[in-house]
Structure 1
């Protein structure tokens, strides 16, 4: 009698699992290609900017410290993408494959970085370990059981990276400032850009979830919209740890001006990441509440 009752329940559960929406191949290919291209580009540009055939001098170490955030956030993103894609390619437990994908990404990236800076063995080891840890932290974003909200969040992270790359290209190409003082520019950009980027990321995550018709509730939209800011925040924490270790290994003493610049930079990164996190989450929640069609309530039985 018990087996007869449990069999329909198991059948219904398996049918629900089979009908659960999954990320499309196009989205996974786009995320995978973007992760590989951005990771290769940022590691290569880091070496071109700071690499020295005879080893890094004090100026080179400071340049590497100031440039460490970009490869870290891209590696976090790549680890999350690898952790999301791996269970789609290989049979096995989803969480174990997610960790495996992030681990392989971290090992490959860390090895390439180590070989690129191999003249300075200590600095190369620090850089390789930091990038390995970044990929593993990124793999944590691929651990949720439902993959559609994770892919929605990663699509928004890709948009955030586009904002960051675009801002970098603009600052490198533009020689005219709209602000009379660098600190005024810092304050205006530090307030506006993360907020605008967070709103755009929240809209991106919401549109992906709506297009997939995944049936994701309020909490799923909130988490998907918050993923870009959370990735930014995690990368900032890892960058601050990596910079401290790198400077302790590569320099005997850090000049007060360099310390002040690093402190100001990390302050902007923390403020920006928290702004983007809350703006993205709130935007996705508001879009869920106002833009999704309401389901009609069941008529009351007389």
Structure 2
């Protein structure tokens, strides 16, 4: 063995292991995923469930309400993937996919039995949630799980922002805007940017608290993950809505089509805004707030 090989072997032996997410963070994310998923599925059933099956109005309400369970299922699928890879020994990527698949089967089964009076619609909703969970599991495939957990913590904050906006719209009877479309556009522009900044700060603070040694790319991925989850959920929701409407309705009214188009336009714009703001904020925080590496400081000292 040459000197170079001996040095590489010694470095590999003394190098610290990659930091792993703490159990407390995983328990919090798991509890939030389970409670939020159960809540949105139950709320969807209370909103649209009918003992004799869905009429045309019920199908349209179901289609308009499908985004919330989808984005929560994507989030829960990612959490299940990280938790499975952390809890069991074996191939990490295979365990992650298996964890998201099991979560998807549970969510899909709950949705199917909730709408079993309409077998075709129930099957469509169940398959959409199953696919959402599997897609969520793909977000847990990066090698450094601590980066994924930082992004999921920020995603949980994004879901809280979405819940807060929905609660405000439902509870507030006084508007600061003269036109509902002006209010819709203003909230649609401001909220994703503010939420993205908050998500970027959340991801950065988690990585800093863990002292994970994550570089620039890791901060970029963690900050962008909430917006990426939002974007993936929007794509799945658009496909799911088309399937549900195709099964449940013979024709969609032009006003309903216009509302769905406006809604999805807001979702796409909001997701990309949140993704950009979160990634930018996390990267700027990494560059401005973290101390310089000791290696760089030693080189500067030698030059002086």
Same fold (TM over 0.5): yes
1:300 equivalenced with 2:302 (yes/no): yes
In structure 2, the residue matched to 1:141 is 139
Q: State the 1:171 CA deviation.
A: 1.1
1:99 equivalent in structure 2: 97
CA distances 1:92-113 after superposition (whole Å, capped 9, x unpaired) = 0110000000000000100110
Give the alignment partner of residue 34 of structure 1, picking from 21, 32, 35: 32
> Partner of 2:283 in structure 1?
285
Map Cα deviations across residues 91-137 of structure 1 (whole Å, 9 max, x no partner).
10110000000000000100110011011010001000000000000
Residue 92 of structure 1: SS of its match in structure 2? coil
Matched residue, 2:208: 210
Structure 1: distance between partners of 2:36 and 2:14: 39
Cross-structure match for 1:13: 12
Equivalent-residue separation in structure 2 for 1:34 and 1:7 (angstroms): 48
Partners of 2:173 and 2:113 in 1: how far apart?
35
Asked whether 1:251 is paired with 2:249, we answer: yes
Q: Distance in 2 between matches of 1:6 and 1:292?
A: 33
Please state how far the C-alpha of 1:5 moved relative to its aligned partner: 7.4
- 1:129 equivalent in structure 2: 127
Q: Distance in 2 between matches of 1:301 and 1:205?
A: 35
Aligned to 1:62: 60
How far does residue 297 in structure 1 lie from its aligned partner after superposition?
3.7
Q: 1:215 to 1:60 in 2, by over 3 A?
A: same
Q: Residue 208 of structure 1: CA displacement?
A: 0.4
C-alpha offsets along residues 119-158 of structure 1, whole Å, 9 cap, x if unaligned?
1010001000000000000001100010111000000000
CA shift for structure 1 position 215: 0.6
**Could you say if the C-alpha distance between residues 182 and 301 of structure 1 is closer, same or farther in structure 2, counting changes exceeding 3 Å?**
closer
Question: Structure 1 stretches of 5 or more lacking a match?
Answer: none
RMSD: 1.6
Q: Are 2:185 and 1:187 equivalent residues in the alignment? A: yes
Structure-1 separation of matches of 2:73 and 2:13: 36
User: Does the C-alpha gap of structure 1 residues 10 and 121 become closer, same or farther in structure 2, counting only changes over 3 Å?
Assistant: farther
1:62 alignment partner, SS class: helix
**Cα distance change on mapping 1:14 and 1:246 into 2, 3 Å:** farther
- How far, CA to CA, are the matches of 2:225 and 2:33 in structure 1? 16
CA distance in 2 between counterparts of 1:259 and 1:15 reads 61
> Number of aligned pairs?
300
Q: Give the 3-state SS of the residue equivalent to 1:19 in structure 2.
A: coil
Tell me how far apart the structure 2 counterparts of residues 192 and 23 of structure 1 sit (CA, whole Å). Answer: 32
**Counterpart-to-counterpart distance in 2, 1:266 and 1:210:** 35
Measure the CA separation in 1 of the matches of 2:10 and 2:298. Answer: 28
1:224 aligns with 2:253: no
- Distance in structure 1 (CA, Å) of the matches to 2:285 and 2:84: 31
Q: 1:15 to 1:64 in 2, by over 3 A?
A: farther
Query: SS of the residue aligned with 1:206?
Result: helix
Using a 3 Å threshold, how does the CA distance of structure 1 residues 19 and 226 change in structure 2: closer, same or farther? same
Secondary structure at the counterpart of residue 74 of structure 2: helix
1:159-218 deviation line (CA, Å, top 9, x unaligned): 000000111111111111111101100111111000000000000000001111111111
| CA-CA distance at 1:8 after TM superposition | 6.5
Separation of aligned partners in 1, 2:63 and 2:5: 60
5+ unaligned residues in a row in structure 2: which ranges? none
Query: TM-score of the superposition, structure 1-length normalised?
Result: 0.96
Q: Provide the C-alpha distance between the structure 2 equivalents of 1:294 and 1:203, rounded to a whole number of angstroms.
A: 19
Tell me, in whole angstroms, the C-alpha distance in 2 between the residues paired with 1:94 and 1:34.
Answer: 23
2:267 alignment counterpart: 269
